[in-house]
Amino acid sequence: MLLGCHLSIGKGFVAVIDEAERLGINAVQIFSHSARSWKMKPLSPTEAEAFRRRWEDSNVEYFVVHTSYLLNLASPNQALWERALASLREEVKRAGELGIPDVVTHLGSHKGAGLEAGIARVAEALLFLQDSPEWHRFEVRLMLELTAGAGDTVGKRFEELADVIERAGGDERLGVCFDTCHAFASGYELRTPEGLEETLRKLDSTVGLDRLWLVHLNDSAHSFDSHKDRHAHIGRGEIGLEGFRLVVSHPRLRELPFILETPKGELDGEDADVVNLRVVQGLKEV
């Protein structure tokens, strides 16, 4: 089972792998820089090489880079849209330099311009990305993350993700990330076998399950179809343990990487990541 969590690069890229081994995980998600800043300190060849060597000598099998929270590919503001595109190109470049195969991104908000306009803006950005030197130099895949559907966000329905990918030419390196909290908040049922089957059927008939490459495992602090994005610890939110048992055991999902984005800190007197990882591992063994 490829299972892990989002880890901080605050102590450097090599230290991320040290932390992954402390946790006993084989899958890791990181930001390649501060997620709340546009500034990106260039990666030195020495730093990238040290990371790749440490990764090669570790038990970590999978890495993915998550883009900055500031990036808005759906923005109607031309200056902000261009800045988001430049940021996305740099994220692909940084992932490639680190040897990381995947980047996952939120699509952003149309800011009142309308869903059609937002989808068109995201697709336009992806077409520009595919023409960039970064895309051609590095064999990095890009995943579009399903959102909880709050406000003017783009990507709250499978149909929206499929539309973006189609308008962007259907490149084989474009895929999706399925976030359990976001899916549940967007009205996709996960808590029953029938509900999960119907959700996956809808995903397959729109985007295609062959484009599903990553699952974010997060319980939801808010109710079904609430369109509110607040992650909760596994089994302690509205999805519940049975829903996660179904997700991690499903034959169409169980071979995918599972990344926890659950709240950090302490839980029941332990590191919250340790507790959540143990819960998921126990569900898989049932």
Three-state DSSP class for residue 143: strand
pLDDT at residue 38, as a whole number:
85
Residue 133 CB-half CA count within 13 A? 2
pLDDT at residue 87, as a whole number:
96
Letter for the amino acid at 53?
Answer: R
How many whole angstroms separate alpha carbon 252 and alpha carbon 198?
13
Whichever domain contains 138, its CATH number is: 3.20.20.150
Residue range of the domain that includes 172: 3-285
pLDDT at residue 285, as a whole number:
57
pLDDT at residue 34, as a whole number:
84
Quickly count: other Cβ atoms within 10 Å of residue 22's Cβ.
11
Task: Report residue 233 as tokens.
Answer: 């610890």
Residue with tokens 């507790």: 275
How many whole angstroms separate alpha carbon 281 and alpha carbon 213?
20
Q: pTM of the predicted model, to two decimals?
A: 0.96
Polymer length of the chain:
286
Per-residue pLDDT of the chain (286 residues; tens, 9 = 90+): 999 999 999 999 999 999 999 999 999 999 999 877 888 888 999 999 999 999 999 999 999 999 998 999 999 999 999 999 999 999 999 999 999 999 999 999 999 999 999 999 999 999 999 999 999 999 999 999 999 999 999 999 999 999 999 999 999 999 999 999 999 999 999 999 999 999 999 999 999 999 999 999 999 999 999 999 999 999 999 999 999 999 999 999 999 999 999 999 999 999 999 999 999 999 975 5
- With a CB cutoff of 8 Å and minimum separation 6, the contacts of 140 are 92, 95, 96, 100, 101, 102, 103, 173
Cβ density class 255-265: b for 16+ within 10 Å, e for less:
ebbbbbbbbee
Three-state DSSP class for residue 111: coil
Kindly report the three-state secondary structure assignment for every residue of 169-192. CCCCCEEEEEEHHHHHHCCCCCCC
Going by C-alpha positions, the residue among 85, 208, 74, 212 that lies closest to residue 143 is 212
Strand 258-260 to 3-6 pairing: parallel
**Exposed, middle or buried, 58 (CB in 10 Å: 0-12/13-18/19+)?**
middle
pLDDT at residue 39, as a whole number:
83
In the chain, the number of structural domains is 1
